[in-house]
Structure 1
Amino acid sequence: MTDTDAYKHDLRLYLQDARDAFLWKLDGLGEYDVRRPLTPTGTNLLGLVKHVTGAEAFYLGTAFGRPVDAPGLWITGDAEPNADLWATPDEPREEITGRYRRVWAHSDATVEAFGLDAVGRLPGEDGGEGPALSLHRVLVHLVAETQRHAGHADVVRELIDGAAGLRPGSGDMAPGDEAWWRGHRERVEGAAREAGARAAG
């Protein structure tokens, strides 16, 4: 395996890890819970999946001349503000998650077809050409963006039902039952209050 192949392999591995985490965070939840907004800005699990689907399609589809059906991104002017960050009642969960899987298969084919130094071009304003980006840079960006949003999904899922962790059975959480975690949270809260009092005092 060449260095270039190894770099590509590592980037795809970390991207796939985040993709899998997204879909796992939906497991066992009903329609309301996968859609309910749990932050003041409306962050919700299914909306996050919809958003990363659009991002992959934009960067690893459109930018490399391989468009694929996906939700438009509001930030690119292809949808109303925040339309890619929530799901309407008429958008079935299975359709959104199925499209995500189809887009990531399409993205993987793009990565397979091009070298890391291949250049894609983002669309510019008013139909003109936007910035040119190498496949390597696009993959780094997508790994960072997808992992960032997977972190959002971690927090949202924990707020819904307390489920936490990087992946099923990974052992990345400290061992403890509900009482242990309650005690831990109280300890952290106590430390925060004491630090706040010292700073104010």
Structure 2
Amino acid sequence: MGTPCGVPSAPGGRVIRMSTQPDLKADLHRYLREARDSLLAKLDGVSEYDARRPLTPTGTNLLGLVKHVASVQLGYLGETFGRPAGEPLPWDDEDAEPNADMWATPQESREELVALFRRSAAHADATVDALPVDAVGRVPWWPEDRNEVTLHRVLVHLTAEVSRHAGHADIVRELVDGSVGLRAPNDNLPDVDAAWWSAYRERLERAAREAAGVEA
């Protein structure tokens, strides 16, 4: 009797059973790394001023987003699982001012914060590699009745958070100099020119005005 159609076989006709179970940890870890890389790439080619300046009423800025994500990575994939990195984060101290982790002071160099981000990523990756997906930890800053978590839940939570901040960085970078796209070499955008984008934006403006009954 032959091998079922589409099922690979080894020499001699032995059927190779292919696993259909997804590797949840590997999938989540890949998405986390991609979101992290997308965020850091938004600093490429910007001036010192543009890396730091606030572009929204609540102060959102590129280097602050990198500083914040570096901090949360060390927390969720460090302290939560009893693997502290030993990195001093004074902006996370109890007596720190609000939002101290969301912007860079003049004394905090861009190079220092990018290096911290890379170290936090390496520490996070080591934690993911070392633990099974159902490993249990505790998030110290979450309420006690729900602070027990698995590595799976932390990877979902952290991937969502980093992706959200990478989206913030997309918009901020576009406001800085018009640079857009996911990351090189795949920017995930249509292959069109500046004139197309200008016409596209005008079309959206007209559609919005028509829908709202607003005169041009």
Structure having the higher helix fraction is: 1
- Map 1:119-138; keep pairs closer than 5 Å: 119-124=136-141, 131-138=147-154
Kindly state the Cα deviation for residue 122 of structure 1 after the two structures are TM-superposed. 1.6
After superposition, the Cα gap between the structure-2 partners of 1:11 and 1:129, relative to the gap in structure 1 and judged at 3 Å, is same
The letter of the residue matching 2:89 is: P
Higher CA-based Rg: 2
Using the size of structure 2 for normalisation, the TM-score is 0.83
Secondary structure in structure 2 of the residue aligned to 1:123: coil
CA distance in 2, matches of 1:124, 1:152: 24
Which of 55, 63, 66 in structure 2 is aligned with 1:38? 55
- Output one character per residue of 1:9-63: Cα deviation in whole Å (capped at 9) or x when no partner: 1111101101111111000001000001000000000000011111111111111
CA distance in 2, matches of 1:50, 1:3: 39
CA distance in 2, matches of 1:133, 1:72: 26
Which of 101, 105, 112 in structure 2 is aligned with 1:84? 101
Q: Which residue number in structure 2 is paired with residue 151 of structure 1? A: 167
Q: Which residue number in structure 2 is paired with residue 166 of structure 1? A: 182
Contact 1:25–1:154 (CA under 8 A) maintained in structure 2: yes
Which of 93, 96, 101 in structure 1 is aligned with 2:113? 96
Q: Which residue number in structure 2 is paired with residue 186 of structure 1? A: 202
CA distance in 1, matches of 2:169, 2:97: 23
Identity %: 57
Kindly state the Cα deviation for residue 178 of structure 1 after the two structures are TM-superposed. 1.8
* Matched residue count: 196
Contact 1:123–1:130 (CA under 8 A) maintained in structure 2: no
- Output one character per residue of 1:176-198: Cα deviation in whole Å (capped at 9) or x when no partner: 22222111111111111111117
Kindly state the Cα deviation for residue 124 of structure 1 after the two structures are TM-superposed. 5.0
Kindly state the Cα deviation for residue 130 of structure 1 after the two structures are TM-superposed. 7.0
Using the size of structure 1 for normalisation, the TM-score is 0.89
Kindly state the Cα deviation for residue 158 of structure 1 after the two structures are TM-superposed. 0.5
After superposition, the Cα gap between the structure-2 partners of 1:103 and 1:171, relative to the gap in structure 1 and judged at 3 Å, is closer
Contact 1:122–1:129 (CA under 8 A) maintained in structure 2: no
After superposition, the Cα gap between the structure-2 partners of 1:90 and 1:130, relative to the gap in structure 1 and judged at 3 Å, is farther
The letter of the residue matching 2:148 is: A
Q: Which residue number in structure 1 is paired with residue 191 of structure 2? A: 175
Kindly state the Cα deviation for residue 73 of structure 1 after the two structures are TM-superposed. 6.3
Which of 112, 118, 124 in structure 2 is aligned with 1:107? 124
After superposition, the Cα gap between the structure-2 partners of 1:182 and 1:169, relative to the gap in structure 1 and judged at 3 Å, is same
The letter of the residue matching 2:204 is: V
Gaps of 5+ in 1: none
The letter of the residue matching 1:46 is: L
CA distance in 1, matches of 2:146, 2:141: 4
CA distance in 2, matches of 1:71, 1:22: 20
Gaps of 5+ in 2: 1-17
Contact 1:123–1:129 (CA under 8 A) maintained in structure 2: no
